[in-house]
Structure 1
Amino acid sequence: MTNLTDFEKYVIEQKGTERPFSGEYVNHDAEGIYCCKKCNAPLYRSESKFNAHCGWPAFDDEIKAAVKRNIDADGERIEIVCAHCEGHLGHVFEGEFLTPKNIRHCVNSISLIFKPTNVIPGLSYDLATFGGGCFWCTEAVFSALAGVKTVVPGYAGGTAEDANYKAVCNGTTAHVEVVQVQFDPNIISYESLLAVFWQSHDPTTLDRQGNDIGPQYRSVVFIHNEKQAEAANNMLVELSNAGIWQGRIVTEVTALNHFYPAENYHKDYFEHHGEQPYCQIVIKPKVDKVKALFAKLLKNDPI
């Protein structure tokens, strides 16, 4: 969670409203994702934004399952909040015929933080970032997949000052042990990486993976762009509504602020320490499971 200023708390937590035409995103038209200021969850894509001449940012669509609607305290209007942290965003209106979708999310700029689209000309690889327990395990899991170029263990969710193993292991920082995966989307899709991510750990245990306990081991997808946000939210909704995990998944989907690579001695841990009991008992079965899963994905067999 982001530390909020007093005025941000007034709007986001106490359901206040900023003055019209005072917010930084009223006339903003860059490409990217608008995320929740409080928890960084992706909320709106830039292509859904339009000029409603109302004094606040307006959107005619939200990222699936990102926004929750409540009856406002006045009993008439519909309040909109972040579905993840329930931070106040604004109100939603229908029947104004301002766009073909005939809906307007009227949002306080101060409730949002904008993440520009990452476009690097000539780069054929994409990036994905996941937290699903000890990064020794997750690094080994994703390194076993065809189409993955590099897997770098690291930290995400906190600040540069405490992005180190000793601090993160204390469980008192906002960081998660993560891996950043560089992959070729022509060989392996982001959706396949998501499937591997959810199958390679237990997404129903809060702040825990087996004997690894603490918020640094929480289940989280850090998204890099709007396409990843849509894919991750869609799959999360699908998995949460059916099957063995129905109603029990605690995985977060949130925008990546910054990735901090871990200390060098964590890199390729399974490769260099494969005979250790932890590697044989915990990591190797996960790697074998994922290899079998990936074979099914390549053949389009049911997972």
Structure 2
Amino acid sequence: MSKILRDKRGYKLPEISIILTIFNGANTIRDTLNSIKSQTFKNYELIIVNDGSKDNTGELVEQFVENNKMMTIKFLNLNQNIGRSNALNLALKNASSDFIANIDGDDLWSKRHLELQVNNIKTHSEFDVICSDYYLLIGNEKTINNFIQSEIGDRMIDITKKVGRFNPINHSTVIFKKLLIEKVGGYNEDLKKLIDYDLWLRLKQQNVKIGFFPVKTCIKRIHKNQNYENKNPVDYAYKIFQMSAKSLINTRDYIGFFFAVSKFFYGLAPQHFRQSLKKVLYGK
């Protein structure tokens, strides 16, 4: 039985804080919020930052909060856009748990995502950041229902070294220790792109171990409204290569550098082609 944590006033604290930042996400936010609501693990708080959306995202979130008063939700509805890094750091500052889970405002979790990841971060204490596998949902493809595998297991793979060579982490699958993120200064507010990969690289430089749970517990959406990855695939792949190359040269990982070059050219291929190639090579 897990220990019940309480604050100085004796109030029960959540075991995990979920952070969700969103900008102009009216088309996806309801599905994302419902996937959080459906979690089998219930001892959490949800911190939502609406980063100055120009559409009706704020109204949709307010409706969800009003209709789900039994959930512990902190809704920060900003009038102006402060940028994703700032919004994520604001969410972190409002989190009361030692453990943080992130979900982007256009992604989805399986019902057992939190249950499995909370168990993983507690069971595998050697890792300070844990991510999981995921499905890609491209364009108007139908949502994958009941997508978690029946046989789960307890296997964890150390991907710390891989982080220096490319970005193997889906931001919506991570669970991490809040204290370590705070020690490296949180998300870099000077960056507007690849802020999550920058954070993983800085954590790796501090010898933080990163684990990968090889079970698909999340759906990542790829759609036309995405600001950067989908609209600028060449620049996206090049920026990742730049960041990884700098880290690899500093650590003299020349084999990793060659791998990063290969990954860069692979990243230039269209998303549909890459998914087809994965199915051919790995059957998934």
With normalisation by structure 2, the TM-score equals 0.26
Q: Which has the higher strand share?
A: 1
Q: Which has the higher helix share?
A: 2
Considering only CA atoms, is the larger Rg found in Structure 1 or Structure 2?
A: 1
